[in-house]
Amino acid sequence: MARTVRAATASLRRPLRGRPRRPGKRPSAPLLALLAVLGPGLIAANAGNDAGGIATYSQVGAQYGYALLWMMVVITVSLIVVQEMAARMGAVTGKGLSELIRENYGPRWSMFSTIALLIANLGICISEFVGIAAALSLIHVPGYVAVPIAAVGVWLLVVRGSYKLATRVFVAMTIPFFAYPIAAILAHPNWLHVGSAIVRPHIQLTGPYLLLFVATAGTTITPFMQLYVQSAVVERGIGPDELNAERVEVTSGSIFANLVAGFIIIATGATLYVHGHHTVNSAADAAKALEPFAGRFAEVLFAIGLLGASLLAAAILPVTAAYVIAETFGLEKGLARRPREAPVFVAVMTTLIVIGMAVALIPNMPVIKLLVLVQVVNGMLLPVTLFFVWRLSSSRELMGNYRNGRIFNLVAGATVVATSTLSVLLLVVTLTGNA
């Protein structure tokens, strides 16, 4: 999700299409590069490490220690390539991904892609509100109070509010996740083992291993990211001449996000795995990874970070679904539009928020299992979106001189094949009872 929220932040500040931009000096390339690392990259990284991401990375570290760190390197490369392709298509064509799928593959494939994305988005939206409830439960705020208030706040944010102020609040709330690198160091992991795990793949063809592998791919290269990034680039009016700045943001945001994810795995591996706690059953269990840094305040620190990340992601996901529906059926869309100007766009956002809130209020919800399961579903649906991103961005007719080069085609194709193969293997070992 590394690149997604940067686009969200800027898109809300952009005026309606057709209105003149305010005159002024355009920031220089070095300044854009700096902001990509220190501004949008910070927000994007923590939004990417949302409730489902934190649960998944924590479970990876607790169950397998450092053994799966190598996959974060591979996934980071794929994430950079996929996000760049989506941004490039938006800048060159001026159209969102769903719109391009409809125009180039027909309404049936467009509907198929839309349904797959909506299933994934609904699951993640639910997981964010579950994450909100779990976070506030650590500081003894009941879910039936916290979740409805959060849902109303998110709705006001995306429909009526100022996103500029909200992102500042979210940054402040998610900064505690920078504690993970510090906690990982203070936990004194065996750095030789960490380094070895990064460069030496450790593969098991077992159900639990494949499940977490697919979940990690699903939470790191989440399907909705590509559609939102492309739609946001279009709404902001970015053209081919600004692609270099976009590439800087894609690369820096992706690397930063996955470094944080890697440190979550290292921190939980050094605190939970080495002490025999191989299962993360609750938010309180995941918070133990921060104890080397925060001591008795670990749960409070974890709650603040989890709450901020979940709120931010909960605000982005309904918007993504609204973009997809609007592009699929050719309806008005855009965060700068008023409800009367884009009624379906607003209705879709509202519906996802209400459903997410309602499911999160179900008592005795198995939080961590649900969050990881949602990421598994994302991982299994991921090849659908990636296939269209890959094929459309490599089309000579559509992209002209901006189509994929050989390296991008190779990496993108390998990502599609790898995620598809993992999904099939997971399905096979589950059906054969080897999970």
Q: Contact, 19 vs 251, CB < 8 A?
A: no
Residue 421 lies in a domain: yes
Q: Where are the alpha helices (DSSP H) in 161-242?
A: 163-174, 179-186, 191-199, 207-220, 223-236
Residue 23 lies in a domain: no
Tell me the pLDDT band of 432, cut-offs 50, 70 and 90: low
Q: Would the CA dihedral through 42, 43, 44, 50 be positive or negative? A: positive
Kindly state the average pLDDT of the residues 373-396.
84
Q: How many angstroms separate the CA atoms of 64 and 333, rounded?
A: 44
Residue 296 lies in a domain: yes
Q: Contact, 97 vs 388, CB < 8 A?
A: yes
The reported pLDDT for the residue numbered 246 is: 79
Question: What are the pLDDT digits (tens) for 104-130?
Answer: 988 888 888 888 888 888 888 888 898
Residue 79 has pLDDT above 60, yes or no: yes
Residue 309 lies in a domain: yes
Tell me the pLDDT band of 41, cut-offs 50, 70 and 90: very low
Residue 55 has pLDDT above 70, yes or no: yes
Residue 21 lies in a domain: no
Kindly state the average pLDDT of the residues 303-309.
80
Residue 101 lies in a domain: yes
Range of the domain at 216: 4-15+28-431
- pTM, two decimals, is 0.79
Kindly state the average pLDDT of the residues 398-420.
87
Residue 22 lies in a domain: no
Structural domains of the chain, count:
1
The reported pLDDT for the residue numbered 343 is: 87
Kindly state the average pLDDT of the residues 274-299.
79
Q: Contact, 30 vs 351, CB < 8 A?
A: no
Question: Between these two residues, 229 and 134, which has the higher pLDDT value?
Answer: 134
End-to-end CA distance of the chain: 28
The reported pLDDT for the residue numbered 34 is: 41
**Residue 330 CB partners (closer than 8 Å, separation 6+):** 99
Residue 14 has pLDDT above 60, yes or no: no
Angle between helices 143-155 and 343-360 (to 10 degrees): 170
Kindly state the average pLDDT of the residues 77-98.
87
Q: Is 325 exposed, middle or buried (0-12, 13-18, 19+ CB in 10 A)?
A: buried
Question: What are the pLDDT digits (tens) for 216-247?
Answer: 887 788 777 777 777 777 877 788 888 888 78
The reported pLDDT for the residue numbered 168 is: 66
Average pLDDT, the chain: 79
The CATH number covering residue 354 comes to 1.20.1740.10
Residue 208 has pLDDT above 80, yes or no: yes
